[in-house]
Chain A
Amino acid sequence: DAEITQSPRHKITETGRQVTLACHQTWNHNNMFWYRQDLGHGLRLIHYSYGVHDTNKGEVSDGYSVSRSNTEDLPLTLESAASSQTSVYFCASSRTLGLAGSEDTQYFGPGTRLTVL
């Protein structure tokens, strides 16, 4: 069955370290998204990609980067982790989100809980 996976599921790191969170989907979806979820804020969009070699900044992109070298993967990198980046991170994918009349929705991964000490 097609799915979307994230790794690691839990990560503890120290301030200033570089961290990369993996996201892999087997639906062959063009669109992929990274969100962070914090209490009281719902989900906030970090970066998104419409396809290979395409990346776009979301609402809270400072301190994060992504690259898309293939359809299946969109890794999220924290260049220098900060305590403010302690959060739960969700990856999502969709086929044609945004096209007029499309009822496509986003499919979310299981999440990665990141703690920055």
Chain B
Amino acid sequence: ELKVEQNPLFLSMQEGKNYTIYCNYSTTSDRLYWYRQDPGKSLESLFVLLSNGAVKQEGRLMASLDTKARLSTLHITAAVHDLSATYFCAVDNNNDMRFGAGTRLTVKP
């Protein structure tokens, strides 16, 4: 059974600092997604990673995928308050999407 584990589940960081969120999954898949969710809101797509070694960047966020290690990372550079949200990774297992539990990120001044 496909399992998706994110860590940390809670992350409090200061503005200007860097940090990485990790997403491990248990079976082979070459398709991984990152989403952002603001409190009380819906999910917004951030990145789609399709192949081993894929790297995508948008602003202060950079996502990467290592299919051999079954690991994706979401790196935050010089965090700002606007990045405070919950971040989910999701793995596509033949259209059976499995989500991680989410990482609640709080960026403090």
Q: Is the CB of A44 within 8 A of B43?
A: no
For A92, the chain B residues whose CB sits under 8 A away are 43
**B positions within 8 Å CB-CB of A:** 4, 6, 31, 33, 41-45, 48, 50, 88, 90, 92, 94-102
4 A-B pairs with least C-beta separation: A42-B99, A105-B45, A43-B99, A108-B43
Check if A59 is an interface residue, CB within 8 A of chain B: yes
**A positions within 8 Å CB-CB of B:** 31, 33, 35, 40-45, 48, 50, 56, 58-59, 90, 92, 97-98, 101-111
Assembly CA distance A100 to B64 (angstroms): 19
Name which residue of chain A comes closest to B34, CB basis. A105
Assembly CA distance A41 to B98 (angstroms): 10
The interface residues of chain B, by DSSP majority, are classed as strand
Q: Is the CB of A105 within 8 A of B33?
A: yes
Assembly CA distance A92 to B90 (angstroms): 14
Assembly CA distance A43 to B31 (angstroms): 17
A58 contact from B31, B41, B50, B96, Cβ within 8 A? B96
Assembly CA distance A59 to B1 (angstroms): 10
Within the complex, the shortest CB–CB distance from A25 to chain B, in Å, comes to 13
Within the complex, the shortest CB–CB distance from A39 to chain B, in Å, comes to 9
Within the complex, the shortest CB–CB distance from A56 to chain B, in Å, comes to 8
Assembly CA distance A35 to B35 (angstroms): 14
Most chain B CB within a 10 A radius of its CB, from A33, A35, A105, A111: A105
- Are A59 and B50 also in contact (CB < 8 A) when A43-B88, A109-B42, A111-B42 are? no
Q: Is the CB of A40 within 8 A of B101?
A: yes
